[in-house]
Amino acid sequence: MLEIKQNYSLKDLNTFGIAAKAKFFVVVRTIDELKEALQSEEAKGISIFILGGGSNMLLTKDLDYFVIKLDLQDFEITSENERIAIVRAGAGFVWHDFVLKTLDRSLFGLENLSLIPGSVGACPIQNIGAYGVEIKDTMYQLEALNLDTLEIEIFSNSQCKFDYRESVFKSELKGKYVIINVSFQLSKTPDLKMEYGAIKSELEALNITVPTPKDVSTAIINIRSSKLPDPNKIGNSGSFFKNPVISNTIFAPLLKKHPQIAHYKVDDNHTKLAAGWLIDQCGWKGKTINNSYGVHKKQALVLVNYGGASGKEIFDLSSDIIQSVKDTFGVALTREVNIY
């Protein structure tokens, strides 16, 4: 029998640590429990909110929803040959734990995504990425429950319509499916990607000359730990803004005016700007408001809740930052975090 709770506090279930309540709340550990929750009296006439790791969201108010916390924890190698393996994990599996588990089994391709907060089920929605790797590079397929029919459907990589921090589940299919598991095609042969960030210098600092995928993972864990606050200690949701991609016709005069602007080539016609650099140049990095929230002192992309801030206060801060960057550089930042 499911234990459905009313007016349930979500403070410990979102990494910002925002004090907000759910009208109804339940934890489900199996597909049958998920279906039972969706067919319950509490689910009638109310919006369904699927909660994963709570790491890519900002709660600005109490949720007049039926919040369902997914705790699907299965892990299985569903097929393999001498070169690759297909690995499936339940939507509730902690993403970083999943990455480490694949490395322990000498399956490679996810090492650059180490220490990203969140759950396996949430990662395709956002097409999470870091250090030159995105979910779309290795995701084989996923299974999702259709909220209208309660039937399980399979989505291939191409059907997910991945883009930069985007997928079909953030656009046309938003709110219509619940991802229940995700499968990845991983390699048994290392193919290290170390060109991004400070991976090589961190490996040198560790005195590693012939790195393994586990070494790359360790280096990235060290780098992220040194730059990003631990949400268990300081409320945050990681990167709050996307890196803006602009046309080269807009970028050319911007570069002339700001020769030091941090940027990366996307293709022959587009350039990606470092949102953190733009925010830093506008003077926001390290700014604290009322001793309760602000911008992290080591990474301008990260907004933080030191304790007691409301979601609306943090949202308003993000709006001020967006306007500041627009006024200074003529570039529009977009929030990466989902706002509720």
Whether 288 has a pLDDT exceeding 90, the answer reads yes
Q: What is the pLDDT of residue 254?
A: 95
On the question of pLDDT at 227 being above 90, the answer is: no
Are 5-70 and 75-187 in the same CATH fold?
Answer: no
Read off the pLDDT of residues 306-316 as tens digits, 9 standing for 90 and up: 988 999 999 99
CB 214 within 8 A of CB 278: no
- Give pTM, 2 decimals: 0.87
Which pLDDT value is given to residue 12? 95
Provide the pLDDT for residue 82: 96
Confirm whether 336 is a catalytic residue: yes
Contacts of 154 (CB under 8 A, 6+ apart): 141, 142, 143
Check residue 164 and give its pLDDT. Answer: 86
Domain 5-70 CATH assignment equals 3.30.43.10: yes
Q: Give catalytic status of residue 167 as yes or no.
A: no
Residue 195 has pLDDT above 90, yes or no: no
For residues 135-146, give the mean pLDDT.
97
Q: What is the mean pLDDT of residues 106-118?
A: 95
Q: Which of the four pLDDT bands, split at 50, 70 and 90, describes residue 68?
A: very high
Give me the mean pLDDT over the 119-138 stretch.
94
Kindly state the average pLDDT of the residues 116-127: 93
Task: Give bridge partners of residue 79 from the DSSP assignment.
Answer: 86
Q: Which of 169, 184, 157, 153 is nearest to 75 (CA)?
A: 184
For residue 296, pLDDT beyond 80:
yes
- 18 C-beta neighbours (distance < 10 Å), count: 25
What pLDDT, on the 0 to 100 scale, is given for residue 192?
95
Q: What is the pLDDT of residues 319-328, one digit of tens each?
A: 999 999 999 9
Q: What is the pLDDT of residue 81?
A: 97
- 75-187: CATH topology is 3.30.465
Q: Which of 165, 183, 224, 237 is catalytic?
A: 165
Q: Rounded distance, CA 74 to CA 87, Å?
A: 11
What kind of architecture, by CATH, is found in domain 235-339? Answer: Alpha-Beta Complex (3.90)
- The pLDDT value recorded for residue 268 is 93
What are the pLDDT digits (tens) for 244-277? 999 999 999 999 999 999 998 989 999 999 999 9
Encode the chain in three state secondary structure. Answer: CCCCEEEEECHHHCCCCCCCEEEEEEEECCHHHHHHHHCCHHHCCCEEEEECCCCCEECCCCEEEEEEEECCCCEEEEEECCCEEEEEEECCCEHHHHHHHHHHCCCECCHHHCCCCCECCCHHHHCCEECCEEHHHCEEEEEEEECCCCCEEEEECHHHCCECCECHHHCCCCCCEEEEEEEEEEECCCCCCCCCCCHHHHHHHCCCCCCCHHHHHHHHHHHHHHHCCCCCCCEEEEECECCCEEEHHHHHHHHHHCCCCCEEECCCCEEEECHHHHHHHCCCCCCEECCCEEECCCCCCEEEECCCCCHHHHHHHHHHHHHHHHHHHCCCCCECCEEC
pLDDT tens profile 10-62: 999 999 999 999 999 999 999 999 999 999 999 999 999 999 889 889 999 99
Alpha-carbon Rg of the chain, whole angstroms?
21
Mean pLDDT of 225-231: 89
83 among known catalytic residues:
no
Q: What is the largest CA-CA distance in the chain?
A: 65
One of 217, 237, 239, 318 is an active-site residue; which one?
Answer: 239
Mean pLDDT, the chain, integer:
95
Residue 205, φ and ψ in degrees, nearest 5: -65, -25
- The per-residue pLDDT for 189 is 96
Locate the domains of the chain by residue range.
Answer: 5-70, 75-187, 235-339
Residue 217: which pLDDT band, with cuts at 50, 70 and 90? very high
- pLDDT surpassing 80 at residue 297: yes
Long-range interactions of 40-45: CB distance < 8 A, separation 24+ = 40/2, 40/4, 42/4, 42/66
